[in-house]
Amino acid sequence: MSGVTVGVLTETAADERRVALDPSAVVRLVAAGRTVLVQSGAGKEASFADADYEASGATISTRRAVLTTSNVIAVVRALDEALIDDFHTNQLVIGLLEPLTHLASMQKLADRGITAVAFELLPRTLSRAQSMDALSSQSSAAGYRAAIVAAATFGRYLPMMITASGTATPAKVIVIGAGVAGLQAIATAKRLGAVVTGYDVRESSRGEVESLGATFLTPLVTTGSGAGGYARAMSVEEQRVQRAELAAALRSFDIIITTAKVPGKTPPMLVSKETLATLRSGSVCIDLGSSDRGGNIAGSVEGHTTTTSNGVTIVGAGELASDLPASASQMYGRNVVAAIASLIPQDRVTIDPSDDVHRGIVVCHDGELTNAVVRSAVGLRSLEASVVGLEVAAS
């Protein structure tokens, strides 16, 4: 058996259909000399059978055996307490761990000598980090799916339709936020024949929106990009102006897709209760920023569809990539493989404190919280680089 065994578990979060590694990712890991254990049925919801994994070189096993034997555990969603309790010292866990939302869990992992790697903390502006950018890969899936869900929920045609019974006018769609998810939603809505508008407070987004054939709604408030490529935080007055501007514009649209999801923070409110009241009956709002902390749209509930008293449908869709489980899992698996190759170049977990990628995505290692953002969130000072420059043999 290889010195490094990568384990894949069935995801337990409600309505989660993705899996951390698809069979094609297993092929890449096995070719690199890794052993892969997959919990029986882990890929079922994403249409990957156990036989597909075995044909790719993985071994199908029980959940307990995967947890006991693996040096590396790959997951999609944040860890629950029961799973953390099942980990053992010197394991490495990698996934979308939501570290800034689950600070106590990160501390518990550190205390138990587990290395945690969170894709949310990846420095996304580094070109060499793109192969590990799980936020982008999953946002792309979510943006595509948002337009499909909007079309399925909307009670009329999206494209202009000329029929023997007359002509149906095309639906008007606005996508708020021109990041990865927003641009994919714009492109998909255009393909479906809608008249599409993009809105973003970053003026630099204009070219990207217009290149997809959409109209760019020029904001009264413009900002530069902040950390990680996100728009910088706006002042209270800027937020007031933006809300008023959007409220005036949104009433003319049939479908609204919002995409402002900020890891570890409350998402900004973009569509207020008062604005919803001005929308036409039958309008559809898809909230990709929805979470247990709230959403971009007043009244949105993560994972649920609700309807306002005036007939506006609101879809809480913060984890919409899960609705495209096969494609989302394939992209995510590539991100996991790239991260493992960087962190475990041979048979040892090697954290390089001089590497910006390692310094970003590693939350804890060798009994310490190491990520500067996480340490700041719990009131600790940053560690000196020399403290985390260690190697841990794969056990």
In a shared domain, residues 52 and 170: no
Whether 124 is catalytic is yes
- Point out which residues pair with 198 in neighbouring strands: 175, 216
Tell me the C-alpha to C-alpha distance, in Å, between residue 151 and each of 25, 173, 256, 290, 304: 32, 10, 11, 19, 17
- 84 lies in the same domain as 30: yes
Catalytic residue among 2, 24, 107, 130: 130
Residues 14 and 67 in one domain: yes
Active-site annotation holds for 332? no
* Annotation says 272 is catalytic: no
- The enclosing H or E element of 113 equals none
Domain shared by 158 and 67, yes or no = no
Catalytic residue among 39, 91, 105, 136: 136
Whether 298 and 356 map to the same domain: the answer is: no
d(CA 297, CA 14): 22
Candidates 124, 145, 243, 359; catalytic one: 124
Q: Are 243 and 226 in the same domain? A: yes
- Split into its structural domains, the chain has a count of 2
If asked whether residues 274 and 151 sit together in one domain, one would say: yes
Query: pTM of the prediction?
Result: 0.91
Among candidate residues 24, 112, 225, 230, the one labeled active-site is: 230
Pair (193, 288) in one structural domain: yes
Q: Please identify which of the residues 39, 70, 91, 133 carries the catalytic annotation.
A: 133
93 and 197 housed in the same domain: no
Q: Which of 294, 323, 352 is the last residue of a domain?
A: 323
Q: Supply the pLDDT for residue 231.
A: 56
213 & 312 share domain = yes
For every one of its 395 residues, what pLDDT tens digit does the chain have, with 9 covering 90 and above? 358 999 999 999 999 999 999 999 999 999 999 999 999 999 999 999 999 999 999 999 999 999 999 999 999 999 999 999 999 999 999 999 999 999 999 999 999 999 999 999 999 888 889 999 999 999 999 999 999 999 999 999 999 999 888 999 999 999 999 999 999 999 999 999 999 999 998 888 999 999 999 999 987 766 655 555 555 566 777 777 777 888 999 999 999 999 998 878 889 999 999 999 999 999 999 999 999 889 999 999 999 999 999 999 999 999 999 999 999 999 999 999 999 999 999 888 999 988 999 999 999 999 999 999 999 999 998 776 444 444 443 43
| Catalytic (active site) residue 202 | no
pLDDT digits (tens, 9 = 90+) for 311-364: 999 999 999 999 999 999 999 999 999 999 999 998 889 999 889 999 999 999
Give the domain range for residue 75. Answer: 5-132+325-393
For residue 352, give Cα distances in angstroms to 61, 99, 275, 357: 33, 20, 49, 9
Residues 28 and 72 in one domain: yes
Q: Which of the listed residues 269, 288, 323 is the one where a domain comes to its end?
A: 323
Last residue of a domain, one of 292, 323, 354: 323
Residue 342 falls in the annotated catalytic set: no
The answer to whether 320 and 353 are in contact (CB under 8 A) is no
Q: What are phi and psi of 152, to 5 degrees?
A: -70, -30
- List the structure tokens of 66: 């995967």
Strand arrangement, sheet containing 195-199: 215-217, 195-199, 172-176, 255-258, 284-287, 313-316, 305-307
What's 295's domain CATH number?
A: 3.40.50.720
CB atoms within 10 A of CB 159: 16
Tell me if 123 sits within 8 A of 228, measured CB to CB.
yes
Judge if 241 and 375 occupy the same domain. Answer: no
